[in-house]
Amino acid sequence: MTAQNKAEQLVMGANADPGLVAVEPLTGDAHDEMILYSRKGSKITVTKEPFRPFLWLEKGSLLKAFEGRHEVVKLAGSGPLNHLASFQSWKDMQAALKLLKQETGFTPSVSSAPFFCITDPVEQHLMTTGRTLFKDMAFEALGRMQVDIETYVTRGYDFPNAARPGDRIIAIALADQSGWVEVLSGDEAAMLKQFVELVQERDPDVIEGHNIFKFDLPYLEARARRHKIKLKLGRDGGLLGKRPSRFVTADRTINYPKYSIHGRHVADTLFMVQAYDVARRSLDSYGLKDVARHFELAEEDRTYIPGEEIAATFDRDPEKVMAYARDDILETRRLGDLLSPVYFTQAQMLPMTYQNICVRGSAGKIDGLILREYLRQGHAIGKPDSPREFAGGYTDIFFEGIAKNVHHCDVRSLYPSLTLVRELAPASDELGVYLKLLRHLLEFRVEAKEQMQKTEDAGRRRHLDALQGAYKILINSFYGYLGFSQARFSDFDAAEKVAAEGRKILEAMIDWLRENGGTPVEIDTDGIYFVPPEVKSKAEMERFRTAFQKSLPRGISLEFDGEYKSMFSYKMKNYALLAEDGEMVIKGAALKSRGLEPFQRSFLEEFIRLRLEGRDGDIPELKRRYEQDILHGRWPVRMLAKTETLQESPAGYAAKVDAKGRGRNAAYELALKSGREYQAGDQISYYVTGSRKSVQVFAAAKLVSEWNPESRDENIPYYLAKLGALCKKFGI
């Protein structure tokens, strides 16, 4: 086998069988099997193959009481988990885990346990067979169906709730990658039946939606239950499965119901958008309409209806709602076209289902690649390193205020490059898989980018772009993997060394900039915003950049990837940028907090643009205009309103308040007073009434649905004080 083939096998898995689109476990009496769904063009073939679950052990004797129901193999290497036990069925393995817990006092989730188990049977099978999904498939060949529903909200409520008898589905919009679009309407029960028929008829590999896990599927499931209709969406005619799960991205953790559909994957573009925004922090909202506008996916003549007006619009003009639903589903498809290819490409590498890849953290993905190779070579594995604190990446702010002619440079793959140059690998990685994987991924990414630049074929170019993007995401996660306590091959000493080396380089870069006429503004982990020295020509700027690059150690390279007319540097990781074309990018919670009322967010955006454009003299007039708009009631009440989601039932809230277990909250108080049956998960929009700026919000709040534009009662002093506090914060 050539070195190139070995590299591809390490990254892509040893099994080259093409077209696998789904794998499902099949439980038998004596042993288990896996059902394999493979695609060739429009045809799906179904095959079966044996499945033997497994787990790693410190000692084979740990399962002595399980004699006759498993096989144990001694593994090579000095890692503590040096035995591999295999079983005839998943049921047997679960029984073995129960016994191990009783014998050792450890659960499988404890990193120091004398045993370790991968808890997903499909991932186990993909690891042992070397299979991955979608091999030799183009992204365009994947069967993807988009689903979006529109709902009717009973008068007096702000948001839909499938449990309310008067709420219902009024449209189910469907589309797929072929260009087909259909909007179902009419009787709710008939729509639900037709929806099931269309899923089975068009037979998608993936069902996509924007917020499909927390809204569309739960709503469809609840309404189908009301009509006693079975949502047989699986390739085997099976029903929806569901279990609680969590999606974690950066500092956000989202609890959601994870739906499963036999033989298919469910993908939520809302999660993809949030993952995309972790590094960029360029999105003000994750709602479909805002995201579509951000990515320029919306048609100029698309139909817009505010969410709170859908029911009323449906009553007088149902066709407009159908047009709105059609535009929604088209934007969902375009969003999937844009964001899904990276996950599709990762699925061609990783021993995981596509659905899991779309929500799994990077550390788990790297674990999968390394463990697959250890399993293939029959080698013992170690335990995660004991976690400890250490100094991380270098972040600093050198200037606050407005800076003109700001450039951005990024140290290309700083930490991965340092890792390879210094050979800083996990001590427990006896096979050296960590560094091999990282090196191959970097090489493959360079090759993909070079091919992308050469090709003129649009489809090939998209594929290569997704490929290099998938490599980049994994590459940039290798440093974080070392310092992640749950990573199987974590190593905090190695992570600390990588971080320390990175800080030295970045500090040296800041010194070089200052010594050569540049002015640093902010540095964040591996990127620097700075004002370059004054130059008279592009050639001079190029010489400056070349000298900057030459100041760096071997193996470390710079990428100059942004030039801006101005930058508003407010606080660490809170800044705004104005591009040459007038586009404004705002980053950081202090400048675009979702906790602000809409009028505050609007004011901040206008204020920041004036500052970036050097029009500070217009700021007093901006403040005066907003004050006058509040005084004279020129806005709809939603500009002043807050929206909150009830995390528990109003009755549960009331019991805690009575027991002095929590303070009063406006949204819950309004739910209790309304006389309507609000439940956990409902959203409530409210504004503040009264005539004094200092009020108890929970006592002065009023539902937006009860606002009367002919008899305005919003609390003007309260909202003027809110504006004043915001202005004071920014020195206005």
| Helix residue spans in 260-397 (DSSP H) | 269-280, 288-294, 310-316, 318-347, 354-357, 362-377
- State the pLDDT at residue 646: 84
Q: How far is residue 725's CA from residue 732's CA, in Å, rounded to a whole number?
A: 10
Domain 139-338 has CATH 3.30.420.10: yes
- State the pLDDT at residue 211: 94
- State the pLDDT at residue 65: 84
Task: Check if the beta carbon of residue 485 is closer than 8 Å to that of residue 111.
Answer: yes
Residues 596-628: tens digit of each pLDDT: 899 999 999 999 999 999 999 999 999 999 999
* Token duo for residue 208: 């996509």
- State the pLDDT at residue 571: 92
Residues 654-676: tens digit of each pLDDT: 999 999 999 999 999 999 998 77
- The pTM score is 0.87
Largest separation between any pair of C-alpha atoms in the chain: 84
Q: How far is residue 657's CA from residue 366's CA, in Å, rounded to a whole number?
A: 46
For tokens 């990077």, the residue is: 362
Task: Check if the beta carbon of residue 85 is closer than 8 Å to that of residue 60.
Answer: yes
Task: Check if the beta carbon of residue 339 is closer than 8 Å to that of residue 286.
Answer: no
Give me the residues paired with residue 150 across strands. Answer: 171
CATH numeric code, 395-425+491-590: 3.90.1600.10
Closest CA to 265 of 168, 318, 340, 171: 340
E strands present in 498-608: 519-524, 527-531, 557-571, 574-578, 584-587
Q: How far is residue 531's CA from residue 311's CA, in Å, rounded to a whole number?
A: 52
Q: 364-367 long-range CB contacts below 8 Å, 24 or more apart?
A: 365/474, 365/477, 366/437, 366/474, 366/477, 366/478, 366/481, 366/487, 367/487, 367/488, 367/489
Checking if the pLDDT of 27 tops 90, the result is no
Which overall architecture, per CATH, does domain 592-729 show? Orthogonal Bundle (1.10)
Residues 700-725: tens digit of each pLDDT: 999 998 899 999 999 999 999 999 99
- State the pLDDT at residue 280: 63
Q: In what order do the strands lie in the sheet with 168-176?
A: 181-184, 168-176, 144-152, 206-209, 265-268
- State the pLDDT at residue 289: 93
* Token duo for residue 172: 């189910």
Closest CA to 532 of 629, 346, 290, 542: 542
* Token duo for residue 205: 């590999």
Type of residue numbered 320: K
**What is the percent of the chain with per-residue pLDDT over 70, rounded to a whole number?**
98
Residue 224 CB coordination number (10 Å): 22
SS3 state at 241: strand
- State the pLDDT at residue 249: 79
Taking the domains of the chain in order of start, what are their residue ranges? 3-137, 139-338, 395-425+491-590, 592-729
Closest CA to 552 of 413, 367, 357: 413
For tokens 């569309």, the residue is: 216
Checking if the pLDDT of 1 tops 70, the result is no
Type of residue numbered 218: P
Residues 104-144: tens digit of each pLDDT: 999 988 999 999 999 999 999 999 999 999 999 999 999 99
Is residue 25 left, alpha or beta, with left meaning phi > 0 and alpha meaning psi from -120 to 50? Answer: beta
SS3 state at 449: helix
Residues 553-582: tens digit of each pLDDT: 888 888 898 899 999 999 998 999 999 999
- State the pLDDT at residue 148: 98
- State the pLDDT at residue 677: 76
Burial class (CB in 10 A: 0-12, 13-18, 19+), 682: buried
Q: What radius of gyration, in Å, describes the C-alpha atoms of the chain?
A: 28
- State the pLDDT at residue 160: 85
Task: Check if the beta carbon of residue 374 is closer than 8 Å to that of residue 70.
Answer: no
pLDDT averaged over the chain? 92
Residues 43-82: tens digit of each pLDDT: 999 999 999 999 999 998 999 888 878 999 999 999 999 9
The superfamily in CATH containing domain 3-137 is DNA Polymerase, chain B, domain 1 (3.30.342.10)
Checking if the pLDDT of 446 tops 80, the result is yes
pLDDT band at 2 (very low <50, low <70, confident <90, very high): low
Residues 150-202: tens digit of each pLDDT: 999 988 777 788 888 889 999 999 999 999 999 999 999 999 999 999 999 99
User: Count of residues for the chain?
Assistant: 732
Residue 280 CB coordination number (10 Å): 9
Residues 524-542: tens digit of each pLDDT: 766 899 999 998 899 999 9
For tokens 């007319």, the residue is: 565
**What is the percent of the chain with per-residue pLDDT over 90, rounded to a whole number?**
73
Task: Check if the beta carbon of residue 245 is closer than 8 Å to that of residue 257.
Answer: yes
